[in-house]
Amino acid sequence: MEKGCRSCLSCLQELWDRIWPVPASPQASPSRPEIAVISCPPLESRLPQLTPTPLLATKSRPVYAALYDFQARSPEELSLKKGERLRIIRDEGEYLFAQKSAGSKGAEGLVPTNYVQVIEQLSNEPWYFETISRANAEKLLQAADNENGTFLVRKSETGDSDYSIS
């Protein structure tokens, strides 16, 4: 490390001489004792090996809603307004690394887990059909084995964030 610091940052020569004194040659100062250099392993070898938290698969990312307003206190955090929707990218223990849903330009950051709650997923409901056209929905509902009052909910063909009931 000493050689690297001395060669890369030669402008700090006086500092390096104080940290790592240059031993005088034995002929110049025979009375000066030799300095024992104690070295330790590099810092990298003493740090625990951290494995990154795997990102949640896009399909399995549930939608969360903010329960309360949250004002970010650092650049890593994400400010929220009550009711705002977000998708969780990874779980960081007491915080979740999240991305705001549509309309927020993809803002990302950490939010406390106790400020958000999972919104029930429509895709888990038996009456929800995400990718079905109106014509196909009508055919499906008119099948002989369906009772009167049978319905389904589907994504609207005209609006991205709208739903239609058939």
Mean pLDDT score across all residues of the chain? 74
Q: What is the pLDDT of residue 39?
A: 62
Domains of the chain, each with CATH number or no CATH: 63-118 (2.30.30.40), 122-165 (3.30.505.10)
**Which tokens belong to 112?**
């406390």
pLDDT digits (tens, 9 = 90+) for 109-142: 999 999 998 887 776 677 777 788 888 888 888 8
CB 116 within 8 A of CB 67: yes
pTM of the model: 0.42
pLDDT digits (tens, 9 = 90+) for 65-110: 899 999 999 989 999 999 888 888 888 889 989 888 765 566 889 9
CB 142 within 8 A of CB 150: no
d(CA 143, CA 141) in angstroms, rounded, equals 5
38 class by beta-carbon count within 10 Å (0-12 exposed, 13-18 middle, 19+ buried) = exposed
Q: What is the pLDDT of residue 87?
A: 86
Asked if residue 60 has pLDDT above 70, the reply is: no
CB 100 within 8 A of CB 78: yes
